[in-house]
Amino acid sequence: MEIDDIDRRILGVLQADGRITNAELSERVHLSPSACHRRVQRLERAGVIRGWVALLDARAMGRPTTVYVEITLSGQSEEVLTAFEKAVARVPDVLECHLMAGTADYLLKILARDTEDFARIHSRYLSRLPGVVGMQTSFALRTVVSTTAIPV
C-alpha cells in the first residue's frame, strides 16, 4: 500500500491522540470528514493501523520497575527457537520479546513492581524457559525517552 503525505499526517495525529473525533481529525489534516474517514478505514484494512489501545502508565499501575533480560539459548535450531518462543509468549509479565542479532539470542522487556517482584518472575517463569543457558538482567534507572509513535 502506498502511503502519501495526507496518510502520514493522519497517522501522525492519530498516534498523538487516538481518541480524536473524525471531525477534528479531518480539520487537522485539511480533508473533508468523509474523505478522512475513508482513508482511516483504508489504513485499518491494509494493516497500517493494527488496532486501538489505551496506553497505561506503568507507575500508576504499580509496575514502575523496567527490566531488560538478555537470553542466551543452547542453540539456534528451529526446534530450540520455537520451544522458547512458545513458552515465553505464555509469561504474563513479558511486554516484549525480540529475537536478536549479537551476543544475546533474545531480549525481553518486563515490568515489575520492584526487585522482589522480578525475583518472583525470574524463579517462577524465566528460569524454567526451555533452552536457556544464560541470562543477563539490567534494571532501568530512569526512562529518558518513551514513545509508541512510529516516525511517519
Minimal CA–CA distance to 36: which of 22, 49, 48, 46?
Answer: 22
Confidence of residue 53 (pLDDT cuts 50, 70, 90): very high
Cell 509468549 appears where? 89
Cα dihedral 90, 94, 96, 99 in deg (nearest 10): -60
The pTM of the full predicted model, rounded to 2 decimals, is 0.90
CA–CA distance from 43 to each of 1, 12, 48 (Å)? 9, 13, 5
**Cβ atoms within 10 Å of 69's Cβ, excluding its own:** 21
Digit-coded pLDDT (tens) for 117-151: 999 999 999 999 999 999 999 999 999 999 999 99
Per-residue pLDDT tens for 31-45?
Answer: 999 999 999 999 999
- Domains of the chain by start residue, with CATH: 5-45 (1.10.10.10), 65-139 (3.30.70.920)
Q: Which residue type occupies 151? A: P
Query: Distance from CA of residue 145 to its chain's centroid?
Result: 14
**76 confidence band (pLDDT: 50, 70, 90):** very high
